[in-house]
Amino acid sequence: MKKLVGVTIVLLLILSACSKEKKGDDTIDQKVKSVITRMTIDEKIGQLVQKNGGSFSDSLIKAGGIGSILNEIDVETQNQIQKIAREESRLGIPILFARDVIHGFRTIMPIPLAQAATWNSSLVEQGARVAATEAASSGIRWTFSPMVDVCRDPRWGRISEGFGEDTYLTSEMGAALVRGYQGEKLNDKTSIAACVKHFAAYGWTEGGRDYNSANIPENELRDVVLPPFKRCANEGALSFMPTFNDINGVPATGNEFLLKQILRNEWKFGGIVVSDWVSIIQLVTHGVAENEKVATRMAMDATVDMDMASGSYRTYLKELIDEGEITIEQIDEAVARILKVKFELGLFENPYTNPSDFPAMLNENHLAIAKKAAVESAVLLKNEGALPIKKNVKTIAIIGPLADAPHDQMGTWVMDGKKINSVTPLTAIGEKAKELGIKVIYERALALSRSKEISNKEAVVKAARQADLVLLFLGEESILSGESHCLANIDLPGAQEELVNLIASQNKPVATIIMAGRPLTFERIVDKTSAILYAMHGGTMAGPAIADLLFGIESPSGKLPVTFPRHVGQIPIYYNHRNTGKPANNTTWQKLDDIPVEAPQLSIGNTSHYLDYGFEPLYPFGFGLSYTTFEYDKLKIKSDKLAQNDVVEVAVELKNTGNYDADEVVQLYIRDLVASRARAVKELKRFKRVHLAKGENTVVTFELPVSELGFHNQQMNYTIEPGTFNLWIGGNSNAGLMTTFKVE
């Protein structure tokens, strides 16, 4: 009897908790409805308007004519605006202040592409939490991040803002940012709303040109491009942003298939959809709307709730309602979604910002997270013994334009970071060298990364000759990547290759550190340097992170989130391609120099490759070296016959066989060997970052539901087909132990 009573009490407590949670949701919905029933049509339209800071009058706020303000970060001004909105407007609806907080506010984390190279979603989440806390202390409660555009073209400048070429890795990183921004409780003063962008296929634009058209089959859209967006929606992201470009001829801002059918109806997304900057009126430029009024109707029909900066909603919505082109119900639905987010963020209860309520920006904890992210994001691509710096090195020459570039090391899309807070590699290495009694000689060599002439060649040569080790800092300035900064040529810019040749001719050990916003092509210098550390743009603490890596205080552990081509002409080149009917391999590669004069034009035995650059990349997806070595052994699968509701359970033994304590990113890939639609030769499905002391070994386990092995068939239905699968576990997409299993 006592046991029965205990169970009953537990059930009642659970039901009570569920009831309270539901009641809380109902309370917000009821509050939203209560506000909407009292709103005039002008006040409703006002909530759908986002204005740029400084582009409006106090009277417009008082009239309830603005729902959100972009790029106003002065707290005193914000509080004055909120006071008018809350205390002088008729209904007291607060303003939602927004800002592009892409990879940090004042403490700048590595660029998102570099964060993906950490393969550490927990660390990425911590970085987003830092960014949210600092942004919220400046009154910002909405950021336009994460960008989860899968991209296979490094010519596209915005590849720096995303997480690379893989669907699963991008999904994990995007979800981590959503959690970090929005925190455990949305109404906490440090939580800010995430905005998932750019929905969808922005990374698919032709030729890697920004804002360009994307032509993509629906199955590719659903299997490769959309899953990261859906993952972020499932994580609770409060808002989405459609992309600038057209997808199969229909611009996303007016694309009912994407926004209404998939996002709203299939995924049941109930958050805000905000246009990108003036993208509503760009529907006219695209050629799908006759004029701005028609463009406004198209955006509203596609369920775009808020107009960023164009003014089209404010100008045309009321007229469209009067003409019966759109309904008041559409307006009410959009207003409800916006008000709900404002209630969820607690803006009605606490609209004002007091910076003293928050931890200081750039505090010790924030900088530690930024440094750790920079350490784990750096990828060691080559090492012939030059690194870590040996004890017998007495003089180091630091040469190159990126060694002391405090602005550029922060990377693209930094709105509020200050270069005065950046600690550069030159500064950090100098401090470490002083402690060890090592002399440092510095020569910039190039004024900018794109400079076409080496300045003071004699001094550069002299510095190299005097040194026991040359640290050569190359790459690209931050302005050479990011939005609207696409490149047809992604070689090392300017005279950097000439600089490498000049240094190499001095016959000294050279370690090259490349700081960039994208994969660059640098095959011609690989044999001329003893080590290559690809550090990308590492943020505020890039210098101390690189110094720790170079001196062996930390071992490199980053892994590439994108394939590195040998030549720009290989693009697109990515690991998860389909096999084709004539797959390339090393025995069938017909090399250009081996073709006889007047050879017959035959196709027999030919395969899919380039005569001049073959078929393999310079470095594969998932690749990254360490100062130690890791050995994989004894791959075991619990069952090699599985039903569709089963879970694949695998284990592998991992051993640190070298002389350094280090992290390894263990990666699991699968291949569906036979299906109704040709599948990729490999697909990343799981990964784990594992720390092992030298000589230590451990068993790494993975669980992979069979339900995640499906794809969209020719009828666009998600299906898991029976058949045989290969499974690999290893340190990159081109290595690993393999086993097989069957889905029945």
Give which of 402, 381, 424 is closest to 475, Cα–Cα: 402
- With 90 as the cut, is the pLDDT of residue 9 above it? no
Q: Which residues pair with 475 in a beta bridge?
A: 515
Which whole-number Å values give the CA distances from 619 to 172, 522, 559, 637, in the listed order?
Answer: 22, 11, 10, 29
Q: What 3-state DSSP class applies to 62?
A: helix
pTM: 0.95
> What Rg do the C-alpha atoms of the chain give, in angstroms?
27
- For 664, phi then psi, to 5°, come to -125, 140
Sheet containing 737-743: which strands, arranged edge to edge? 641-642, 737-743, 723-730, 662-672, 683-692
- Cβ contacts of residue 597 below 8 Å, gap of 6+? none
Indicate if the pLDDT at residue 19 is higher than 50: no
Residue 5 has pLDDT above 80, yes or no: no
Half-sphere exposure of residue 634, counting CA atoms within 13 Å on the CB side?
Answer: 9
* Residue 603: band (very low, low, confident or very high) from pLDDT cuts 50, 70, 90: confident
- Mean of all residue pLDDT scores within the chain: 95
The size of the chain, in residues, is 744
Active site residue 276: yes
Block residue for tokens 């950490």: 118
When pLDDT is averaged across residues 313-321 and rounded to a whole number, the result is: 98
Read off the pLDDT band of 729 (50, 70, 90).
very high
Helix (H) or strand (E) holding 356: none
The predicted pLDDT at position 183 comes to 98
Whether the pLDDT of residue 88 is over 60: the answer is yes
Residue type, 354: N
pLDDT value, residue 24: 54
- Residue 25 confidence (pLDDT): 61
Pairing of strands 379-383, 272-273: unpaired
* Structure confidence at residue 4 (pLDDT): 37
What does the block give as tokens for 99?
A: 């800002």
Beta bridge partners of 70: 52, 98
Lowest mean pLDDT among 19-23, 75-79, 421-425, 624-628: 19-23
Q: What is the pLDDT of residue 6?
A: 40
Order of strands across the sheet with 647-656? 630-637, 647-656, 697-705
- pLDDT at res. 551: 98
* Low-confidence winner among 4-8, 32-36, 401-405, 580-584 (lowest mean pLDDT): 4-8
Please say whether the beta carbons of 577 and 617 come within 8 A. no
* pLDDT band per the 50, 70, 90 thresholds, residue 586: confident
The DSSP element (H or E) to which 136 belongs, if any, is helix 121-136
Angle between helices 167-182 and 121-136 (to 10 degrees): 40
- 3-class SS of residue 29: helix
CB-based contacts of 609-615 (< 8 A; 24+ apart in sequence): 609/584, 610/569, 610/570, 612/567, 612/569, 613/566, 613/567, 613/569, 613/570, 614/566, 614/584, 614/589, 615/584, 615/589
> Which 3 state secondary structure label does DSSP give 614?
strand
Q: Report the number of secondary-structure helices (H) and strands (E) in the chain.
A: 20, 26
23 — pLDDT class (breaks 50, 70, 90): very low
- Which helix (H) or strand (E) covers residue 523, if one does? helix 523-526
pLDDT over 60 (residue 42): yes
Q: Average pLDDT for residues 193-217, to the nearest whole number? A: 97
Q: Is the omega angle on the peptide bond into residue 200 within 30 degrees of 0, that is, cis?
A: yes
Which residue in 542, 698, 548, 536 sits closest to 624, CA to CA? 536
Q: Do 276 and 283 form a contact (C-beta atoms < 8 A)?
A: no
Residue 661 has pLDDT above 50, yes or no: yes
Collect all residues with Cβ–Cβ distance below 8 Å to 476 and sequence separation of at least 6: 449, 450, 493, 515, 516, 517, 518, 520
Q: Residue 7's pLDDT is what?
A: 37
Give residue 588's pLDDT: 79
Domains of the chain from N-terminus onward: 21-98+239-344 (3.20.20.300), 367-550 (3.40.50.1700), 576-616 (no CATH), 630-743 (2.60.40.10)
Query: Mean pLDDT over residues 694-711, rounded?
Result: 98
Kindly list the distances between the CA atom of residue 395 and the CA atoms of 36, 497, 537, 553, in Å, as whole numbers in the listed order: 71, 24, 26, 19
Asked whether residue 12 carries a pLDDT value surpassing 50, the answer given is no
Helices 312-322 and 292-301, interaxial angle, to 10°? 80
**Of 319, 466, 317, residue with least CA distance to 393:** 466
Kindly list the strands in the beta sheet with 195-199, ordered across the sheet, starting from the edge strand earlier in the chain.
195-199, 239-242, 272-273
| Tens of pLDDT, residues 423-463 | 999 999 999 999 999 999 999 999 999 999 999 999 999 99
Of 276, 307, 416, 672, which is the active-site residue?
Answer: 276
Tell me, what's the pLDDT at 548? 98
